[in-house]
Amino acid sequence: MLNIITSTLILILCMLSVDISAESRSVITVHFDEREKGIDPYPVRYIFAGNILRVDDNTNDGDFILYDDKKRVIYSVNHDDSTILVIENKDWKMPVFTFQRNVSWRLIEDAPAFDSKPVYNYWLSANEKVCTEAQVVEGFLIKEAHLLKRYRQTLSAGQVDAIAATPEDMRTPCLLIDNVYNTGSVYEKGFPIQQWHLNGLQRIMTTYKKDTQYKESLFVLPKDYKKYSMGDNLSFGER
């Protein structure tokens, strides 16, 4: 009888462990502080779960972004109006600009190694004006960095569609190469730990954790939300 009870308990424990693992996912979590002009710093959380990226404000129940790297699709979820903005990847070509686009890298020789890896300065410039500057750790979270590169390119696909509605006098060189036609070059060598943009946006990595556990529900889109694309009218943009 004891053997039967013991076997039954082991079976129940195994079933429980399967249920728990099915409801959670092991991920890599990266936390940032972001700053914008006139706004207090606010937290941003990147959760890398295999081919899925979730971006949120470090809360589980607020608005969030999901990026499906297999489908190359971005979903931006807004709970207030129960909508999901869908941005699908499209092949786009860099246009011929009237200015020169430059990407530069330089090893920071006197910088302490980060995670035993060298740190580089990165610049994206239009002519002589620096649009973006970053500090990038070579080889650090390289898989996640390359996913972010594809995410950035997919996001730019949506911006390319929307640029037609932007007045000509607002299409500055930095807007064009940093927001619209962005190739994600900052992610080529590794993961950026600090970034500065000419528009005032700053992003500083505060912590990162490997093998953290999050509920599977964080990576599921809400049901019954209206889906629309950039430029769509909601009444016509449902999918």
Is 79 within a domain?
A: no
Is 30 within a domain?
A: no
How many domains would you assign to the chain? Answer: 1
Is 112 within a domain?
A: yes
- Pair 229, 87: CB distance under 8 Å: yes
Residue ranges of the chain with per-residue pLDDT less than 70: 1-22, 231-239
Whole-number pLDDT of residue 67? 98
Question: What are the pLDDT digits (tens) for 135-145?
Answer: 999 999 999 99
Whole-number pLDDT of residue 205? 97
Question: What are the pLDDT digits (tens) for 167-187?
Answer: 888 899 999 999 999 999 999
**Total residue length of the chain:** 239
Is 41 within a domain?
A: no
Is 72 within a domain?
A: no
Is 229 within a domain?
A: no
CA distances from 4 to 1, 9, 11, 12, 211 (A): 5, 9, 11, 12, 36
Q: Which long-range contacts (CB under 8 A, 24 or more apart) does 63-69 make?
A: 64/218, 66/219, 66/221, 67/147, 67/151, 67/154, 69/147, 69/150, 69/151
Is 167 within a domain?
A: yes
Token reading at 63: 């608005």
Residue 186 belongs to domain spanning: 101-209
Is 165 within a domain?
A: yes
**What is the pTM assigned to this prediction?**
0.84
Question: What are the pLDDT digits (tens) for 86-111?
Answer: 999 998 999 999 999 999 999 999 88
